Amino acid sequence: MPSMFTDLNDIQIGSVAVADGTAEALTAVEDMADYDEITWIVLFEDVDAAAVLTLAPKSNTADSTSTPTPVAISLVGGTVSGAVTAVVTTGASVITEASGNLDNLMAVVNVAKSKISARYVFLSITATVESFAIASIITIKSRAGSVPVTQSTDVASLVKSTS
């Protein structure tokens, strides 16, 4: 019997709401042992005109966003698609808001384990020029080494159809 999405993927809240501002927003640190891929889904609320957002995945040898110093995960060679064009730099995706093109939409950052240099990862979001607000960030760790995956307590309700 084929496994279902929730049997193969660990779904968590990476960050709760981030109030309107320009301060760095960080997701929870995720342990990539036993997973081959991670995806962050950033659900934006209001993003002020001309805001330049940098979404930077980072790795660390410890379960920390600061010590030891995290390392940027290279996005070079990655693909970009969607209604709003992002510019991919070495360690980040940079998106510029124009005329409400990010308000109430989402940005998705997907990283393969082959790009990750350490066991722990997190996403950093910064803004220049103007402020931004985030409703939440969903984190999905995929391609689990052992299935079925036990979902975290972040999943309040899980309903699966029968096969």
Radius of gyration of the CA atoms of the chain, in A: 16
Give the dihedral of Cα atoms 60, 63, 67, 68; nearest 10 deg: -40
Map out the domains of the chain as residue ranges.
13-142
Q: What single DSSP character describes residue 117? A: -
- Using alpha carbons, select from 34, 88, 83, 81 the residue that is nearest to residue 57: 88
Taking residues 119-148, report their average pLDDT.
Answer: 91
Q: What is the CATH number of domain 13-142?
A: 2.60.120.680
Q: From CA 59, how far away is CA 103, in angstroms rounded? A: 28
pLDDT band for 130, please (50, 70, 90 cuts): confident
The pLDDT value recorded for residue 113 is 92
| pLDDT tens readout for residues 134-147 | 999 999 999 888 88
- Using alpha carbons, select from 142, 162, 118 the residue that is nearest to residue 11: 142
In the chain, alpha helices (H): 5-8
**Structural element, H or E, at residue 141:** strand 132-142
25 and 125 Cβ atoms separated by less than 8 Å: yes
pLDDT band for 1, please (50, 70, 90 cuts): very low
**25-26 and 106-112 strand pairing:** unpaired
